[in-house]
Amino acid sequence: MKRRKKEVVLNVTTDQLVTELKREKYKSRYFRLLRSTIAALIVTAAAAALIATLVLPVLQIYGGSMTPTLYEGDIVLSVKTTSFNQGDVCCFYYANKILVKRIIGKPLDTIEIDENGNVYVNGAYLDEPYIETKALGECDIDFPYQVPEGQYFVLGDHRDTSLDSRYSEIGCISADEIVGKIIFTVWPLNHFGTVN
């Protein structure tokens, strides 16, 4: 006994075939676009993470030692550099934290702070328009003080409360401890702008 093969006949019109073909092409285009979008987002996120880590670290300010220049909660951009000038606001590692202070003295500068909080660098009075109140603050070092080779003397802008190079436990900071120079405040918007 021979078996007969059954033939299946589909009643499909040309319009239905064209519609199905369009749907399959659309689905294929959609998935290609989705894959390329996801790939672009991953590359962008990786590039942003590298830039934020290696070139422009983003930091949030904690504490009030830099008021009125920076306030607690401000989000700032810093730039990695090896060149620092007097007056630059820098961030540096100290006891597993990142502190933010202003560079007052460069290597081998002589620093003097009188009882009224006036600062002298190499015998010249330092004009500091960025501070509101002068104060000697927490200080246990003797003046005049010479900044060691390869280190920087740093002070907070809120001199009454800032723990900085005037306090021997922190002291001067070496160039390799510095994370970068703070250049810009990005948040909140009412503080948006360059950091001076």
124-157 pLDDT, tens digit each:
999 988 888 888 877 888 889 999 998 999 998 8
- Quote the CA–CA distance of 13 and 16 in Å, as a whole number: 5
Percent of the chain at pLDDT exceeding 90: 15
Please report, for the chain, the start and end positions of each structural domain, with discontinuous segments joined by +: 12-54, 58-194
- Contact between 156 and 150 under an 8 Å Cβ cutoff? The reply is no
| CA separation, residue 151 to residues 50, 167, 175 (Å) | 28, 15, 6
81 compared with 126, residue with greater pLDDT? 126
Return d(Cα 33, Cα 67) in angstroms, integer.
49
pLDDT reported for residue 122: 92
Where is pLDDT greater, at 2 or 157? 157
Q: Which helix (H) or strand (E) holds 38?
A: helix 14-54
| pLDDT value of residue 60 | 76
Asked if 175 and 187 touch (Cβ cutoff 8 Å), the reply is: no
Q: Does the domain spanning 58-194 belong to CATH 1.10.260.40?
A: no
Q: What is the pLDDT of residues 163-173, one digit of tens each?
A: 888 888 888 89
| pLDDT recorded at residue 3 | 61
So what's the pLDDT on residue 51? 64
- Position 6 scores a pLDDT of 59
pLDDT digits (tens, 9 = 90+) for 42-67: 888 777 666 666 666 777 788 778 88
